[in-house]
Structure 1
Amino acid sequence: MTSIAKCRAALFVLLCATMPAHAGSCTDDIAQTQAQLDLAIEKDAGSHGWKPESLNALRNHQPTPRSLAESEGNNGVGFTDALDSLDRARTADSTGDIAACSREIARARAVLR
Structure 2
Amino acid sequence: MTSIAKCSAALFALLCATMPAHAGACADDIAQTQAQLDLAIEKDAGSHGWQPESLGALRSHQPTPRSLAETEGCNGIDFTDALDSLDRARTADRTGDIAACGREVAHARAILR
Q: TM-score range by the shorter chain?
A: 0.7 to 0.9
Q: Specify which structure has the higher proportion of helix.
A: 1
The aligned length equals 113
Counterpart in the other structure of 1:27: 27
1:52-104 CA distances to partner (integer Å, 9 max, x unpaired)?
11111111100111111111254375211100101111111122111111100
Instruction: Give the residue type in structure 1 aligned to 2:69.
Output: A
1:90 aligns with 2:83: no
Instruction: Give the residue type in structure 2 aligned to 1:104.
Output: E
Distance 2:73 2:107 in 1: 20
Distance 2:59 2:76 in 1: 22
TM-score (norm 2): 0.87
Instruction: Please list every run of 5 or more consecutive structure 2 residues that lacks an aligned counterpart in the other structure.
Output: none
Counterpart in the other structure of 2:54: 54
Instruction: Please list every run of 5 or more consecutive structure 1 residues that lacks an aligned counterpart in the other structure.
Output: none
TM-score (norm 1): 0.87
Of 14-23 and 70-79, deviating more is 70-79
- CA RMSD, Structure 1 to Structure 2 (Å): 1.8
1:7-63 CA distances to partner (integer Å, 9 max, x unpaired)?
453233212211111011111211111111001100011011111111111111001
